[in-house]
Structure 1
Amino acid sequence: MKYILSIFIFLQFNNAIYAQTSITIYKDDRALIKQKILWELEQESNVISWDSLPSGLIDGSAFLNLTNARILTQRLNNNTFRFRENLKNKIGENIEIKLVNEREISGVLVEFDNSILSVQRRGSILSFNFDRVDYVSVYDEEIPKALKPTLTWSIAPKDDLEKIVNGNLIYLSKGFKWKTIYKLIINRMQNSADFVIEADIFNNSNMDFSEVNLKLIEGNLNTKVNSASFVGPYRQSRLSQNSFQQNQFGDYYIYNLNQKINLKSNESILARLYPPKNVSFKKTYLFENNEKNQREEPLIVEYTIPNIEENNLGIPLPEGNIQIYQYLNEQDIEFIGEDHLSQVTKGEEATITSGRAFDVIGKRSIINFDRQQKSEEASIMIEINNTLSNQINVRLVEEIRGDWVIRKASSNYQKKDATTIQFSISVPANRSKTVTYTYRKEL
């Protein structure tokens, strides 16, 4: 006889008759889920329950506030995975797995642990994360059905005649996260760009959420809960062009999407954090070396974007990856690089790189080196060759360790810190420029 061991069952409301959901997602694989719920009390019963809970429910985080009743006790039945003890005796036998939102797969059970279940099918071994599994079917009438996580409360209504109880259920769950994705789209003249800022939002849980109010928190919170990993395919969808409303929230920033959305299990969605911004930037070519380098190579292409109101920004920019594009003409656009953008506060500059330039080459040579018992002295020559048809700005960054002084520098330099100096120069079109200096340091 075939029995189904339900791991994650579809939404059930027990004696609940209404629920409205709000989700606040953090960047550390967790979310705060808030649900307004109405329960209809059964005759002569002072017990209410709720079983629409994701598998990532964090123990001890759930609490319920009732407006017209007093809570006496709260109980969590989290015996969902009780069936695993019985599966130990089924290794080597046929089972059937139903994946969330996918077809059933049959095969021979070969292995399972706390997170992965593996079956052999047609000579291949297939492994599935338990978060992807809806239920498992076996052929054994002795195996009991597993229970779904359920919160149950004993309550004392304020009015003995009250038949409807309403309250707010709040809990934390793993299996949710978001990240920032930037797109810098440079115009054909390379004097401005469209700056697109999006949030990629992930529901790694086993539950679908419909008509939810969504908020995102930017900032690093302390947590002692290990993040859960997800293995499996994603569906990705894009919301309308509506963007989030950003507000400061204590030491963090909160983004509120002013529309209700559907967020399905194992799905990610893209939404605009801000409307697109047209920004100005400074393009620079970067040549970085330490004191011992002798080499010749293409220079790094660097873009600096002031995060100020005068540049249509002046907003908190969360950490995230940035994709860089450029128009070849009015209609043709090409991808030219990708970088990681660290968190940028208002008033600071965002600096990113797109790769190395083909037509701008830097060569660094040590033309003299004198080492004594207690000191050393070296003369450095740096040559930048620009074969582009336009003038360029170049940053020469030199790292020198120890107690040093600079002598005989051919161009002005800036001491950035105890180990770094920087030359900022311009190189005309189809020309080269040379910078020389000597450093001396005590050993």
Structure 2
Amino acid sequence: MRCLLLALFLFSNSFAQSLYANITIYKDGFALVKQPVLWEDLETDQSIIIWDILPFGIVYDSPFLVLENAKVLTQSFNQDVFHFSDRLYNYLGERIDVKLINENDMSGTLVEVTDETLTLQRRRSIISFNRDRVAYINLPGLMEDVQYKPTIKWAIETKEEVDTLAGNLTYLTSGFGWEANYRLIIEPNGVEGQFLADAKILNNTNMSFDKMNLSLVEGRINLNSKVDQQQQTAGRKSTMINAEVSELGDYHIYSMGTNMNLVSKETLVTRLYTPRQINFEKTYLFENNEKSQKEEPLSIEYKIPNTIENNLDLPLPQGKIQLYQVLNSGNIEYIGQDKISQVPRSNTATISSGKAFDVIGKRKVLNYDKQRKSEEASISITVTNTLSRGVNIKLIEHIYGDWVVRNASSNYRKIDASTIHFPLSIPQESSKTVTYTYRKEWK
């Protein structure tokens, strides 16, 4: 029986390289790779084919091969890859040499190996030390039957003699990731801005992918696997391809295009949507609980309607958003960053950019009376606006239990069982005060 290993991969700078793959990257740190494969110059009695150039993060039970002119009979995956830490167990009872950091060499019989410690039996003592203290370990003998990479082997059957096999190898692998990066560049008028949406794509595998067809999926898919995904990468580059969006069952899939390159250990930034000119609502938030008393700057909130009328109406994936302000001089300054949840069409994105310098809130408890079966408090909230323009204020008050509000000096809305909202508009260089009393009773 003869076997042949032939792969459509090249080696460059110690990284494997894939050509013409179709890759779908998920938010969970996994990707689905659909790799065209070709075996040439087959022998007449060829019945075994082997593939051993794969990402280190491959999900072992995921690969399957579909051949155009042959039938796959069996598939075996040898994942017994060499790991020095694992091989230490094979030397239990053997004499080894250990060099500790900033200390002399020592020799002894290896009697215990754990994730954190090594233990040696020396001539007159037993010594145990943390593995992070080890500079190097010298083991006796030579390594035999060492496999450095995972290997897939297939037994195949052909109906007629062929010298070429073609097909597709599909598998899941960890080491990939992506997230949306948004930018809102606010115009000097403070009510509109330019909205930019990019995708940051991470390839933390040992393979580079050239001339690939790339898709991104928004939504958390249940994979029931632990992902070790590192966020630091060696390189970063940008491209301005726009995505096409379609539905994938209950998820959204973004087709980023073909003929794209993603180098190993690289982060690629590409455009999700063309830039949009949008409007937004800016509000200052002061949020408190029952008996809290404080004086502090108000939080700044931006609300962006994801609607046709606002030049959006797009499925916006989860990510982070950076805010920039265009000054009257034309200069652009960074003013904050926030996370953004998934925003379906016709919903509204809410963004916080930090605390305002010139809009201050002060909350006082004027009176508090607690009896055996009741509680009553009178609250005063003053918001001062020292800006040269008017501002919209959102006062949020949280009251818990069975309560009623009395003698409110301003209209309010009940949001839920424990929240009320006072909307205010405060002119430039002025202030407003809201007072109310809440009462709670229990049996």
Is the TM-score greater than 0.5? Answer: yes
Structure 1 Cα separation of the partners of residues 287 and 268 of structure 2: 39
**SS at 2:387 equivalent:** coil
Partner of 2:437: 438
Specify every segment of 5 or more residues in structure 1 that has no aligned partner in the other structure, as ranges: 1-12, 95-107, 116-124, 128-135
Question: Which one of the candidate residues 3, 9, 14 is aligned to 2:5?
Answer: 14
Structure 2 Cα separation of the partners of residues 231 and 371 of structure 1: 52
Partner of 1:101: none
2:197 maps to 1:190: no
2:373 maps to 1:374: yes
Cα offset, 1:86, TM superposition: 5.0
Greater shift, 369-378 or 205-214, is seen at: 369-378
Cα offset, 1:369, TM superposition: 2.1
Code of the residue aligned with 1:149 in structure 2: it is: P
Q: Is the 1:408–1:438 contact (alpha carbons within 8 Å) kept by the matching residues of 2?
A: yes
Partner of 2:212: 212
Say if 1:57 and 1:310 are closer, same or farther in 2 by CA, change over 3 A.
same
2:156 maps to 1:155: yes
Structure 2 Cα separation of the partners of residues 428 and 60 of structure 1: 65
Deviations 1:190-224 (A, max 9, x none): 12111111111111111121111111110011121
Cα offset, 1:231, TM superposition: 7.7
Partner of 2:352: 353
Partner of 2:248: 249
Structure 1 Cα separation of the partners of residues 417 and 231 of structure 2: 46
**SS at 2:273 equivalent:** coil
Cα offset, 1:281, TM superposition: 0.2
Deviations 1:42-71 (A, max 9, x none): 342122222221011111101111121111
Q: Is the 1:82–1:146 contact (alpha carbons within 8 Å) kept by the matching residues of 2?
A: no
Deviations 1:278-334 (A, max 9, x none): 110000000000110111111111100001111111111111111111111353111
Deviations 1:147-202 (A, max 9, x none): 422211111113x2322111111111111111111111101121211111111111
Cα offset, 1:266, TM superposition: 1.3
Structure 1 Cα separation of the partners of residues 421 and 139 of structure 2: 73
2:438 maps to 1:423: no
2:278 maps to 1:287: no
Partner of 2:126: none
Say if 1:377 and 1:82 are closer, same or farther in 2 by CA, change over 3 A.
closer
Structure 1 Cα separation of the partners of residues 369 and 345 of structure 2: 47
Code of the residue aligned with 2:32 in structure 1: it is: L
Partner of 1:105: none
Say if 1:166 and 1:405 are closer, same or farther in 2 by CA, change over 3 A.
same
Cα offset, 1:373, TM superposition: 2.4
Partner of 1:303: 302
Superposed, 1:316-335 pairs within 5 Å as: 316-329=315-328, 331-335=330-334
Cα offset, 1:410, TM superposition: 1.1
Partner of 1:79: 80
Say if 1:342 and 1:126 are closer, same or farther in 2 by CA, change over 3 A.
farther
Superposed, 1:56-205 pairs within 5 Å as: 56-81=57-82, 84-86=85-87, 92=98, 142-144=142-144, 145-158=146-159, 160-205=160-205
Structure 1 Cα separation of the partners of residues 115 and 43 of structure 2: 38
**SS at 2:27 equivalent:** coil
Structure 1 Cα separation of the partners of residues 418 and 139 of structure 2: 71
Deviations 1:105-140 (A, max 9, x none): xxx9xxx9989xxxxxxxxx899xxxxxxxx9x998
Q: Is the 1:20–1:37 contact (alpha carbons within 8 Å) kept by the matching residues of 2?
A: no
Code of the residue aligned with 2:230 in structure 1: it is: F
Partner of 1:42: 43
**SS at 2:309 equivalent:** helix
Structure 1 Cα separation of the partners of residues 32 and 324 of structure 2: 36
Code of the residue aligned with 2:205 in structure 1: it is: S
Cα offset, 1:91, TM superposition: 6.1
Say if 1:282 and 1:179 are closer, same or farther in 2 by CA, change over 3 A.
same
What is the RMSD of the two structures over their aligned residues, measured on CA atoms? 2.8
Structure 1 Cα separation of the partners of residues 172 and 157 of structure 2: 26
Q: Is the 2:44–2:161 contact (alpha carbons within 8 Å) kept by the matching residues of 1?
A: no
**SS at 2:23 equivalent:** strand
Structure 2 Cα separation of the partners of residues 166 and 113 of structure 1: 46
Partner of 1:344: 343
Q: Is the 1:83–1:146 contact (alpha carbons within 8 Å) kept by the matching residues of 2?
A: no
Partner of 1:391: 390
Partner of 1:97: none
Code of the residue aligned with 1:50 in structure 2: it is: W
Q: Is the 2:201–2:268 contact (alpha carbons within 8 Å) kept by the matching residues of 1?
A: yes
Structure 1 Cα separation of the partners of residues 232 and 300 of structure 2: 36
Partner of 1:263: 262
Cα offset, 1:401, TM superposition: 0.7
Say if 1:78 and 1:91 are closer, same or farther in 2 by CA, change over 3 A.
farther
Partner of 2:26: 26
Say if 1:177 and 1:405 are closer, same or farther in 2 by CA, change over 3 A.
same
Cα offset, 1:234, TM superposition: 2.6
Q: How many residues align?
A: 398
Specify every segment of 5 or more residues in structure 2 that has no aligned partner in the other structure, as ranges: 10-18, 106-112, 117-131
Q: Is the 1:86–1:143 contact (alpha carbons within 8 Å) kept by the matching residues of 2?
A: no
Structure 1 Cα separation of the partners of residues 114 and 261 of structure 2: 32
Structure 2 Cα separation of the partners of residues 151 and 359 of structure 1: 65
Cα offset, 1:371, TM superposition: 2.3
Q: TM-score, normalised by structure 2?
A: 0.83
**SS at 1:384 equivalent:** strand
Code of the residue aligned with 2:181 in structure 1: it is: I
Structure 2 Cα separation of the partners of residues 114 and 31 of structure 1: 30
Identity of aligned residues (%): 47
Code of the residue aligned with 2:73 in structure 1: it is: L
Structure 2 Cα separation of the partners of residues 388 and 318 of structure 1: 35
Q: Is the 1:83–1:143 contact (alpha carbons within 8 Å) kept by the matching residues of 2?
A: no
Code of the residue aligned with 1:215 in structure 2: it is: S
Partner of 1:314: 313
Structure 2 Cα separation of the partners of residues 371 and 15 of structure 1: 82
Say if 1:266 and 1:409 are closer, same or farther in 2 by CA, change over 3 A.
same
Say if 1:183 and 1:24 are closer, same or farther in 2 by CA, change over 3 A.
same
**SS at 2:241 equivalent:** strand
Structure 1 Cα separation of the partners of residues 232 and 99 of structure 2: 25
